[in-house]
């Protein structure tokens, strides 16, 4: 288990955190020539955290609904999408999916490529966003 990470800026101490961890998917993504092969998508590992504010003492039955199904649906569509140059583009799109739910106050997205360097478990990007 990993230690709890601090919430993104703008979140409160009383919060609900919903996590999709280490979701495996593929997408046609990357700037290098070998990443542009139309028949070989890049394997990706995606992590999504969504945060919502909680009122202190609120009962679990009245927690805000942070539905992870829209994120899962978006990730399932990635293998069929057109080529995208940057992982940042994919991560930003997931931020938009998170913020489509008005209860989401902040989110953290990471999109990692596990098969790029032999000496690294993965390389990629992480974006943390809070509503303004």
Hey, what domains does the chain have and what are their CATH numbers?
15-130 (3.30.1130.10)
Q: What is the pLDDT of residue 29?
A: 96
Q: Which pLDDT band holds residue 62 (cuts at 50, 70, 90)?
A: confident
Beta carbons within 10 angstroms of residue 68's beta carbon: 15
89/56: higher pLDDT:
89
Q: For 74-87, how does the pLDDT look when each residue is reduced to its tens digit (9 = 90+)?
A: 999 999 999 999 99
Residue 19 to residue 100: CA distance in whole angstroms: 16
Q: Which pLDDT band holds residue 21 (cuts at 50, 70, 90)?
A: very high
Q: Which pLDDT band holds residue 12 (cuts at 50, 70, 90)?
A: low
Question: Average model confidence (pLDDT) for the chain?
Answer: 89
Mean pLDDT of 59-68: 81
Ramachandran region of residue 33, left (φ > 0), alpha (ψ -120 to 50) or beta?
A: alpha
> Beta strands of 6-104 (E only): which ranges?
15-27, 42-53
Strands 15-27 and 42-53, bridge-based pairing? antiparallel
Best CA proximity match to 109, nearest among 53, 45, 63, 52? 45
Q: Which pLDDT band holds residue 103 (cuts at 50, 70, 90)?
A: very high
Residues 6+ apart with CB under 8 A from 53: 11, 12, 14, 15, 16, 64, 105
Best CA proximity match to 107, nearest among 57, 63, 71? 71
């Amino acid at each position: 288990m990993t230690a709890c990470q601090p919430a993104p800026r703008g979140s409160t101490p009383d919060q609900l955190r919903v996590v999709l961890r280490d979701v495996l998917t593929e997408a046609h993504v990357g700037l290098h020539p070998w990443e542009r092969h139309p028949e070989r998508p890049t394997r990706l590992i995606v992590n999504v955290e969504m945060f919502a504010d909680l009122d202190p003492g609120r009962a679990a039955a009245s927690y805000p609904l942070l539905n992870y199904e829209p994120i899962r649906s978006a990730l399932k569509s990635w293998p069929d999408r057109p080529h995208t140059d940057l992982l940042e583009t994919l991560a930003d799109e997931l931020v938009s999916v998170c913020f489509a739910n008005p209860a989401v106050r902040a989110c953290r997205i990471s999109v990692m490529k596990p098969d790029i360097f032999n000496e690294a478990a993965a390389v990629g990007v992480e974006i943390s966003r809070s509503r303004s």
